[in-house]
Chain A
Amino acid sequence: MEKAWAELSPEEKREERFKKWLSPPGVTFASPQAEKLYKERVTRFIKAFTLKEPDRVPCILPSMGLYAATYAGTNLATVMYDFDEMKRAWRKVLHDFDADTYVPPVLVPPGPPLELMDYKLYKWPGHGLGKNVLSYQAVESEWMKPEEYDHLIRDPSDFWLRVYMPRVFGALKGFNQLSPFTSFEEIVTGNFLPFANPEVQAGLNSLMKAGMETMKWMAAVGEVAVEAMAMGFPGVMSALAKAPFDTLGDTLRGTQGIMMDMFQRPDKVHAAMERIAPIAIATAINSVNTAAAPIVMMPLHKGADTFMSVKQYETFYWPSFRKVVMAFVNEGITPVLFAEGSYNKRLDIIGDFPKGTVAWYFDQTDIFKAKEKIGDRCCIMGNVPTSLMMTGTPQQVKEHCRKLIEGCGKGGGYVLAGGATVDEGNPENMRAMMAAAKEYGVYK
């Protein structure tokens, strides 16, 4: 089996993965009708992703983030800690909108384990942010110092375990006293010694507790996801991956840091991205292999128009990013590339993928231009403006969707979707968007 898989071409692998998505092993549908709807919905997405005309334009409502919480009358602070409330909220969205897909609360992390670990990379309501704030937010900082590039490049896992993790998890601060795990001595008693240290032991204890807390959350998330599947609503993303430049810029060096590095140590930036890419690839493929939908979502940040010039994009962002994307394509996985902000100046570059293998999901880009420039090679997704979804009327939303469908839907290869995610706002706008897909999106 293993060998047979390795011998398949990327196209054959994609076929196999789509087949598994259409008939997911181990799923019991609630009724034959639910199964029929499930297959229809999955087929709709597969056709759009592979640039064919489905029965109608598929739609992903921009409710995949935290919307369910506010919609159900609760808030982020509550659902991050009270998993019964989380289940209630996501069930309500599942039942109330006759959508094409169900997005589980994977973007709503559980509060207890993060609190146990004293996580510093994010702030969330009640933990660095006011209780009523509707989102969790990243704390940009120099989590990796410029002089630490060499350590990261030499041994990313060692850097992570002994430098990065002690820095971002207060509970693991003792881990900076560990010795490297990769030791070539045969009798490694020296490696055991740090585990006698009470700070290290406290860290291990916190990890075990965090594991148990995360299990509870996983069970709650899984419960509603299984129900959704049984009702006939497929998932559309099974893994997240980042562009190597964003891992460096968001996670490790911060915006300020990475921009300085582009001038002061460009070689290190490139070498670090080379090391990061295979890890990002392997992690996402593992996640996809355990799920039904062969889709990896890549939220892209620092390659947007306003962040860097075209030349900088071509030099620093695109090569390692494309490498990661192509690794997914070659494994038969469809990457959904979420271009946050605008990509108007990148349209001559970003279509360079085999036909029908990737989907570009646009936020503020001129999507009609994108359809014209790369629509013959890539599926186009987006881009009902977040501001319109939150401040407009249902009529305005529906009208905007009609224009998108007419402009981008031609010949297939289009998924109606939001710009960024919507955290609150008039549910009638969500319904108007879904109605537009059903009313205007039918291919005849």
Chain B
Amino acid sequence: MSGDYVNLLADLKEDEVLALTKKRLDAKEDPMKILEDSRKGMEVVGSRFAGGEYFLPELVFSGELLKQINELVKPHLKGAVTQKKIGKVVIGTVAGDIHDIGLNIVDFMLDVNGFEVTNLGVDVPIEKFIKAVKDTKTTILGLSGFLTPAFDAMKETVEALEKEGLRKNLKIMIGGGQMDDDVRKYAKADAYGKDAMAAVALSKKWIGAA
């Protein structure tokens, strides 16, 4: 049953996977088992995305399916669910830029891959990044930006972290619209990632999980 369930979610069969979720809940199955299966399904989605079989529409749609499943399961859960997290990542779109599509997809993919993500949102001032790095003690920071003014905002953010003495134990990745390896050098970040799965791969590498 759970193999089917994983596949239905991975194949994005909306009606079937939701019907099966209800059926399993009605059969008093452990809701945690359903969540575990949906996590596995999302892993398949992620690897299909990384393999070039799935694209953004599939990612977005799978996210919606997961949301619907969670809503169905939630009333059946006893107490808070604490999933074990493999590492922490702070992400945000740099000051002066309000684009969040890529940012939210990175958030989502890091989350389903087991990271504890602190998403600071868009147009994030430098001080807010500094505070979040201090508060969370993260070792990974992701800077997002779509537009060319983000080049300087990224550079200034990295420099400010250096000045605060926070740079040494911190890996910084950048991504979005007009970013590339030239911008990575310009901003003095550690890596440029071309999509959400690159963010996952980099983060896993940096925590030593890949």
Contacts and interface: CB of A to CB of B under 8 A. Distances in A.
Interface of A: 123, 128-130, 132-135, 137, 139-140, 255-256, 259-260, 262-264, 306-309, 312, 341, 364, 385-388, 390-392, 419-424
Given A134-B149, A256-B60, A140 B123 contact: no
Nearest to B96: A133
B104 to A, nearest CB: 8
B155 to A, nearest CB: 9
Interface string B157-195: 000000000000000000001111011011000000011
28 contacts: A130-B123, A132-B96, A134-B148, A135-B149, A137-B99, A140-B99, A255-B60, A259-B57, A260-B60, A262-B61, A264-B14, A306-B195, A307-B55, A307-B56, A308-B56, A308-B57, A309-B54, A312-B55, A312-B57, A364-B180, A387-B151, A388-B182, A390-B151, A391-B185, A391-B186, A419-B178, A423-B147, A423-B148
A410 B115 CA distance: 50
A143 to B, nearest CB: 15
Give the 9 A-B CB pairs with smallest separation, nearest first: A259-B60, A259-B57, A387-B182, A133-B96, A391-B186, A134-B149, A309-B55, A263-B61, A255-B101
B149 A424 contact: yes
Contacts of B56: 255, 259, 306-308
B12 interface: yes
B98 interface: yes
Contacts of A312: 55, 57
B95 interface: yes
B57 A263 contact: yes
Nearest to A389: B148
B97 interface: yes
Given A140-B101, A392-B182, A135 B57 contact: no
Given A134-B96, A306-B56, A420 B178 contact: yes
B127 interface: no
Contact of B57 (A262, A341, A364, A391): A262
Chain B interface: which size bin?
20 to 34
A130 B95 contact: yes
B121 to A, nearest CB: 14
Contacts of A421: 148
A387 B96 contact: no
B36 interface: no
Interface string B80-104: 0000000000000001111111000
B67 to A, nearest CB: 11
B179 to A, nearest CB: 8
A101 B12 CA distance: 50
Interface of B: 12, 14, 53-57, 60-61, 64, 95-101, 123, 147-149, 151, 177-180, 182-183, 185-186, 194-195
B51 to A, nearest CB: 12
Contact of A263 (B14, B55, B98): B14
B162 to A, nearest CB: 19
B178 A256 contact: no
Given A260-B60, A312-B57, A137 B97 contact: yes
Given A129-B96, A308-B57, A422-B148, A387 B180 contact: yes
B183 A387 contact: yes
Contacts of B64: 260
A128 B122 CA distance: 12
Contact of B149 (A259, A420, A423): A423
A391 B183 contact: yes
Contact of A139 (B98, B148, B194): B98
B169 to A, nearest CB: 27
Contacts of A386: 148, 178
Contact of B182 (A263, A308, A391): A391
A278 B149 CA distance: 36
Given A306-B56, A306-B195, A391-B186, A385 B151 contact: no
A59 to B, nearest CB: 20
A391 B151 contact: yes
Given A259-B56, A259-B57, A385-B180, 19 more contacts: A129-B123, A134-B96, A137-B99, A140-B99, A255-B56, A255-B101, A256-B60, A256-B101, A260-B60, A306-B195, A308-B55, A308-B56, A385-B182, A386-B148, A388-B182, A390-B148, A391-B151, A391-B186, A423-B147
Contacts of B149: 133-135, 423-424
Nearest to B146: A137
A386 B101 CA distance: 21
Contacts of A387: 151, 178-180, 182-183, 186
Contacts of B99: 137, 140
Contacts of B97: 137
Contact of A260 (B54, B61, B123, B186): B61
Given A256-B101, A259-B57, A137 B147 contact: yes
Nearest to B181: A387
A348 to B, nearest CB: 16
B61 A135 contact: no
Nearest to A304: B56
Contacts of A262: 57, 61
A377 B182 CA distance: 33
Nearest to A313: B55
Nearest to A420: B178
Contacts of B151: 387, 390-391
A139 B98 CA distance: 8
Nearest to A364: B180
Contacts of B12: 263
A263 B59 CA distance: 12
